[in-house]
């Protein structure tokens, strides 16, 4: 086969024309399509990266919020535990105070009950003692004992306080003296009593003598508001009233 320069030159020209046509008609559109495709891919990747970045940011934000929420929940638990402990302490203190108050009240009530029982027992004892003493004195009471009491009364009359003497002298102006005894007084004792009253009052005193068996033994002299008692019954009554008032 012989080399033909003309044919070779034409082939070269055809090739160049083909290349030009390809570049003109096919390469640029393909290149443009590829460029558009590449741009779309880049945009998609950029969007994906943006979405991923946003997702990462949201994830980080969520994690931060979860961490903050956990911290807040922990603080809330701590506050609740502290409040519950404080409330428990307050309730226990209130319960203890209430129990102490109840114990104190029960102690006071028990002491009061014991005191009242003691007072009742003491009252019964005093009543029994009073009855015993009354029975004993009633057995001891006699005209002789009454005469002895009368003599003691005569000995004590001059030693009356000045205040009583003033009351006696004022009372004598109002009327006579009433003298009662458990037993009949013998005449000599009556005269000595009337004389002693007259001496104390500074003027003669009329005496009205009578009997009152309830005196057991002894005398009671009354002139108006002035009263002088010297009898077993009056002494028993005096001590009973003094004992009752001292409780």
Map out the domains of the chain as residue ranges: 1-140, 142-245
Higher local confidence (pLDDT), 236 or 187: 187
More confident residue, 34 or 94: 94
Where does the pLDDT of residue 241 fall: very low under 50, low under 70, confident under 90, or very high at 90 and above?
A: low
pLDDT band at residue 27 using 50, 70 and 90 as cut-offs: low
Q: What is the DSSP letter of 203?
A: S
DSSP letters for 27-75: IHHHHHHHHHHHHHHHHHHHHHHHHHHHHHHHHHHHHHHHHHHHHHHHH
Confidence of residue 204 (pLDDT cuts 50, 70, 90): confident
What's the pLDDT band for 191 if we cut at 50, 70, 90?
Answer: very high
User: Which range has the top average pLDDT, 93-102, 176-185, 235-244?
Assistant: 176-185
Q: Is the pLDDT of residue 153 over 80?
A: yes
Tell me the C-alpha distance between 113 and 93, whole Å.
Answer: 29
Residue 109 has pLDDT above 70, yes or no: yes
Tokens 């037993």 sit on residue: 183
SS3 category, 221: strand
The residue count of the chain comes to 247
Report the 10 Å Cβ neighbour count for 183: 20
pLDDT tier at 160 (50, 70, 90 boundaries)?
Answer: confident
């Amino acid at each position: 086969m012989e080399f033909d320069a003309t044919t070779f030159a034409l082939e070269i020209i055809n090739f160049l024309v083909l290349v030009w046509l390809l570049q003109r008609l096919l390469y640029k559109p393909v290149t443009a399509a590829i460029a558009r495709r590449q741009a779309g891919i880049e945009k998609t990747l950029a969007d994906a990266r943006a979405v991923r970045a946003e997702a990462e940011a949201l994830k980080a934000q969520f994690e931060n919020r979860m961490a903050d929420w956990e911290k807040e929940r922990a603080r809330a638990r701590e506050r609740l535990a502290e409040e519950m402990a404080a409330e428990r302490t307050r309730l226990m203190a209130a319960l203890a105070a209430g129990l102490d108050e109840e114990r104190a009240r029960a102690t006071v009530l028990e002491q009061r009950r014991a005191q009242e029982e003691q007072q009742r027992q003491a009252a019964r004892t005093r009543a029994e003692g009073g009855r015993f003493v009354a029975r004993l004195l009633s057995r001891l009471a006699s005209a002789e004992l009454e005469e002895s009491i009368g003599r003691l009364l005569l000995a004590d009359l001059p030693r009356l306080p000045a205040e009583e003497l003033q009351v006696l002298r004022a009372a004598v102006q109002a009327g006579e003296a009433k003298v009662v005894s458990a037993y009949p007084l013998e005449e000599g004792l009556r005269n000595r009593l009337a004389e002693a009253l007259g001496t104390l009052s500074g003027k003669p005193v009329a005496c009205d003598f009578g009997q009152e068996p309830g005196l057991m033994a002894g005398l009671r002299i009354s002139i108006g508001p002035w009263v002088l008692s010297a009898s077993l019954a009056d002494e028993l009554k005096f001590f009973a009233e003094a004992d009752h008032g001292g409780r």
